Amino acid sequence: MIRVIIAGPRGKMGSEAIQMVNNTDNLELVACLDRKHDGKTLRDIESLPNMDVPIYENIEECFQQINADIFVDLTVPETGYIHTKAALKYHVRPVVGTSGFSTEQIEELTDIANTEKIGGLIAPNFAVGAVLMMQFAKQASKYFPDVEIIEKHHDQKLDAPSGTAIKTAELISEVRGSKKQGHTAERETVTGARGADFDGMKIHSIRLPGIVAHQEVIFGGSGQTLTIKHDSFNRKSFMAGIKLAIEEVMKIDELVYGLDNILE
Tell me which of 40, 85, 89, 157 is the catalytic residue: 157
Was 163 annotated as part of a binding site? yes
Q: What is the pLDDT of residue 264?
A: 66
Which amino acid is present at 254? E
Q: Identify whether residues 72 and 134 lie together within a single domain.
A: no
Phi (first) and psi of residue 22, to 5 degrees: -65, -30
- Considering its fold, how many domains does the chain have in total? 2
Q: Identify whether residues 45 and 141 lie together within a single domain.
A: no
Was 125 annotated as part of a binding site? yes
Q: Identify whether residues 136 and 225 lie together within a single domain.
A: yes
Q: Identify whether residues 90 and 185 lie together within a single domain.
A: no
Q: Identify whether residues 116 and 224 lie together within a single domain.
A: no
Was 100 annotated as part of a binding site? no
CATH of the domain at 147: 3.30.360.10
H-helix segments, the chain: 12-22, 59-65, 77-89, 103-116, 128-140, 163-176, 239-249
Q: Identify whether residues 241 and 192 lie together within a single domain.
A: no
Neighbour tally for 120: CB within 10 Å = 27
Q: Identify whether residues 225 and 241 lie together within a single domain.
A: no
How many secondary structure helices (H) and strands (E) does the chain include? 7, 12
Q: Tell me the per-residue pLDDT of 59-77, one tens digit each, with 9 for 90 and over.
A: 999 999 999 999 999 988 8
Q: Identify whether residues 68 and 141 lie together within a single domain.
A: no
Was 99 annotated as part of a binding site? yes
Res. 142: pLDDT tops 90: yes
Q: Identify whether residues 257 and 229 lie together within a single domain.
A: no
CATH of the domain at 101: 3.40.50.720
Q: Identify whether residues 116 and 240 lie together within a single domain.
A: yes
- Answer yes or no: 157 catalytic: yes
43 is in which domain, residue-wise? 2-122+236-261
Which amino acid is present at 102? S
Tell me which of 37, 83, 138, 153 is the catalytic residue: 153
Q: Identify whether residues 111 and 206 lie together within a single domain.
A: no
The DSSP output letter for 36 is S
Q: Identify whether residues 63 and 152 lie together within a single domain.
A: no
DSSP percent split of the chain into helix, strand, coil, nearest 5? 35, 25, 40
Torsion of CA 154, 159, 165, 166, to 10 degrees: -170
Q: Tell me the per-residue pLDDT of 153-206, one tens digit each, with 9 for 90 and over.
A: 999 998 899 989 999 999 999 999 888 888 889 999 999 999 999 999 999 999
